[in-house]
């Protein structure tokens, strides 16, 4: 691997660039980004080495697409139009079904691998890129059978080098499961932040009284709306289903409190404590 292109030089794309440069010092990392300032910042920070254009992709080994999922729908076919037969292309979007359908019949579909690394922070831009972000993180791969075997091997070797765990899933199942464990938590965080901002008018009170519990719960509300709005749009059906179930649970919890049934409140929380065992078993 000699030449790598990162499209979208923010947190995820930039972190891939940093890890690849660390693992393969002789690799040249090129960047593409609609934000010119981000490109300049990424070069100044050493995240990428130089800028490149879409029509120059025929001589690169790897293209990583790390942009909002609505932009990926538009750009991915154009990327596949411009790559050579030995180039592997993967995107890192949080939705997979619409993206896979978009290129289902593309002549260079064999060059594309649909992946979703479960990693990130609430920050964005080139300065948010982190070395080692993907170490011990799960990387979900969809429709692996649609990708040329030699290109699969190239991508899987890279993921292994970066310390990632691999999980295979079909796109429809991916989008349904991720709505519960990722998309719903972001909506919850945004709406908790909204509720507090609307009811606590004194910003100093929020700052002084917010403990670590509030801070950790609302952390995701600092995430980029430009990234998350397209995700919610593409995964609308699954997200609405999860919201219905979540709202019903909130209403049930509220009704228990209205009835002064705090024994049931205790039991609800105690049974949910099982989540600790699930998450500890994953680590």
pLDDT of residue 219: 86
Number of domains present in the structure of the chain: 2
Q: CATH number for the domain including 162?
A: 3.40.50.720
Sequential pLDDT tens for the chain (283 residues): 899 999 999 999 999 999 999 999 999 999 999 999 999 999 999 999 999 999 999 999 999 999 999 999 999 999 999 999 999 999 999 999 999 999 999 999 999 999 999 998 888 899 999 999 999 999 999 999 999 999 999 999 999 999 999 999 999 999 999 999 899 999 999 998 898 877 766 566 655 555 566 777 788 888 899 999 999 999 999 999 999 999 999 999 999 999 999 999 999 999 999 888 767 765 5
Structural domain ending residue among the three candidates 137, 170, 203: 170
pLDDT of residue 69: 97
Residue 136 shares a structural domain with residue 165: yes
CA atoms lying within 13 Å on the CB side of residue 169: 19
Residue 64 shares a structural domain with residue 147: yes
Structural domain ending residue among the three candidates 145, 170, 195: 170
Give tens-digit pLDDT for 221-243: 888 999 999 999 999 999 999 99
pLDDT of residue 201: 63
pLDDT of residue 210: 58
Residue 178 shares a structural domain with residue 161: no
pLDDT of residue 31: 98
Residue 142 shares a structural domain with residue 255: no
Residue 19 shares a structural domain with residue 111: yes
Distance CA 200, CA 197 (A): 5
Q: Which domain holds residue 204?
A: 174-282
Residue 131 shares a structural domain with residue 56: yes
Report the Cα 127 to chain-centroid distance in Å.
17
pLDDT of residue 236: 97
The beta strands (E) that lie in the chain are given as 3-7, 28-32, 50-51, 62-65, 88-91, 112-117, 138-142, 165-169
CA angle, residues 170, 171, 176, in degrees to nearest 5 = 105
Residue 111 shares a structural domain with residue 244: no
Is residue 158 within 8 A of residue 63, CB to CB? The reply is no
Residue 188 shares a structural domain with residue 273: yes
Residue 111 shares a structural domain with residue 181: no
Q: CATH number for the domain including 216?
A: 1.10.3660.10
Residue 103 shares a structural domain with residue 34: yes
Residue 93 shares a structural domain with residue 138: yes
Residue 22 shares a structural domain with residue 127: yes
Structural domain ending residue among the three candidates 149, 170, 191: 170
């Amino acid at each position: 691997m000699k030449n790598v292109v990162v499209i979208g030089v923010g947190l995820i794309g930039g972190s891939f660039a940093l890890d690849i440069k660390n693992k393969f010092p002789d690799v040249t990392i090129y960047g593409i980004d609609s934000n010119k300032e981000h490109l300049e910042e990424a070069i100044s920070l050493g995240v990428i080495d130089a800028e490149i254009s879409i029509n120059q992709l025929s001589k690169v080994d790897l293209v990583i697409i790390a942009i909002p999922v609505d932009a990926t729908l538009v750009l991915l076919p154009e990327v596949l139009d411009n790559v050579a037969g030995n180039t592997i292309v993967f995107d890192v979007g949080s939705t997979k079904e619409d993206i896979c359908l978009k290129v289902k019949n593309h002549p260079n579909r064999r060059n594309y691998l649909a992946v979703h690394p479960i990693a990130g922070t609430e920050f964005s831009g080139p300065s948010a890129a982190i070395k080692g972000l993907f170490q011990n993180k799960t990387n979900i791969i969809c429709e692996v059978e649609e990708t040329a075997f030699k290109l699969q091997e190239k991508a899987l070797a890279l993921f292994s080098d970066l310390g990632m765990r691999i999980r295979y899933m079909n796109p429809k199942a991916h989008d349904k499961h991720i709505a519960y464990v990722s998309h719903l938590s972001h909506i919850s965080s945004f709406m908790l932040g909204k509720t507090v901002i609307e009811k606590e008018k004194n910003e100093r009170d929020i700052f002084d009284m917010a403990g670590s519990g509030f801070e950790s719960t609302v952390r995701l509300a600092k995430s980029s709306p430009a990234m998350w709005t397209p995700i919610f749009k593409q995964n609308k059906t699954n997200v609405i289903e999860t919201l219905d179930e979540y709202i019903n649970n909130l209403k049930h919890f509220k009704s228990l409190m209205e009835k002064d049934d705090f024994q049931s409140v205790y039991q609800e929380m105690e049974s949910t404590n099982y989540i600790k065992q699930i998450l500890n078993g994953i680590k």
